[in-house]
Structure 1
Amino acid sequence: MKKQNYLFCLLLFFGVKFSVFSQVGINTTTPLSTLDINGNLSLKTVTLNGNGTGNGGIAVLIDDGVYISLNPLATDDKFQLPNPNLFPGRVYIIRNIQDAVTAQLVTTTNLLFPKNSTVGSSQIYMYEGNLRTIIVISDGQNWTYMN
């Protein structure tokens, strides 16, 4: 009976130990990271239309997708990022697809910080020649963006 208990504890220990340090490889037999992909990766893409109310209007919520095409219908249509506190590590690739209409990217909680800066703001403007495409990353408190 003691032998069975010892064997059971040993198997349980090794099972837990190896499952805690698991790595998943896709198209690789020796993954080097928690998720190691040897091949192409596809991301969910969505297009969000503005509401046509411009700067004074209600923001369109960003709550789905990874690659997001913003289609403002009026100058400075607002598009709102989710609360960064609720989604630490969340990454979005955001592009204003309009040539002549500015999109306003806003956050209602905390700030948007450009990379390499300690000065943030609650909104940024995306238009031709200025932040047309950006990547935003939540650190659990704020959003950091880079272009």
Structure 2
Amino acid sequence: MVKKLKYCIFLIIVLVVSKINAQVGINTITPLSTLDINGNVSLKVMTLNGTNTGGGGAATLINDGVYISVRPLATDDKFQLPDPTLFPGRIYIIRNIQNSVTAQLTTTSGMLFPKNSTTGSSNLYMYEGNLRTVIVISDGVNWTYMN
């Protein structure tokens, strides 16, 4: 009975330790990272239309997808990122697919910071020749963006 109990405790310890250091490999036998993918990755793609109300109207919420095409229907139509405190580590790739209409990117809380900068803003304008495509990453307080 004691021998079985010792064996069970040993087995539980081995399982706990192996779970702590677990690495998952997809199409690889020896993963070198927590998640190691040897192959292609597909991301959820979404297209969001603006509200056709411009900068003074309601924002279209961004709450699904990874690669997001925004289609402003009026200049400065707003597209709103979720609260960065609720989604630390969340990444979006956002592209304004309109050639001549500006999209305004906002957030429900926090600020938008360009990479390598300590100066943030509450909104970001995306248009032809200026930040047409941005990658935004939540740090748990704010969003950092890069193009």
TM-score, length of structure 1 as denominator length: 0.99
Once the two structures are superposed, residues 51-100 of structure 1 have per-residue CA deviations (whole angstroms, 9 ceiling, x without a partner) of 10000000000000000000000000000000000000000000000000
- The number of equivalent residue pairs is 147
Deviation at 1:43, TM superposition (A): 0.1
Structure 1: runs of 5 or more not aligned: none
Is the Cα–Cα contact under 8 Å of residues 47 and 69 in structure 1 kept in the other structure?
Answer: yes
User: Partner of 1:5: helix, strand, or coil?
Assistant: helix
Write the mapping of 1:39-78 to structure 2, written as runs, cut at 5 A.
39-78=39-78
Q: Which amino acid aligns with 1:20?
A: I
CA RMSD of aligned residues (A): 0.5
Is the Cα–Cα contact under 8 Å of residues 108 and 122 in structure 1 kept in the other structure?
Answer: no
The 2-side partners of 1:129 and 1:41 are apart by 28
Deviation at 1:2, TM superposition (A): 1.1
Q: Which amino acid aligns with 2:72?
A: P
Tell me what 1:15 maps to.
15
Deviation at 1:108, TM superposition (A): 2.6
Tell me what 1:37 maps to.
37
Once the two structures are superposed, residues 30-49 of structure 1 have per-residue CA deviations (whole angstroms, 9 ceiling, x without a partner) of 00111100000000000000
Percentage of matched positions with identical amino acids: 70
Write the mapping of 1:55-134 to structure 2, written as runs, cut at 5 A.
55-134=55-134
The 1-side partners of 2:119 and 2:111 are apart by 9
Q: Which aligned segments of 4 or more residues in structure 1 are displaced greater than 6 angstroms? A: none
The 2-side partners of 1:76 and 1:66 are apart by 22
The 2-side partners of 1:118 and 1:15 are apart by 44
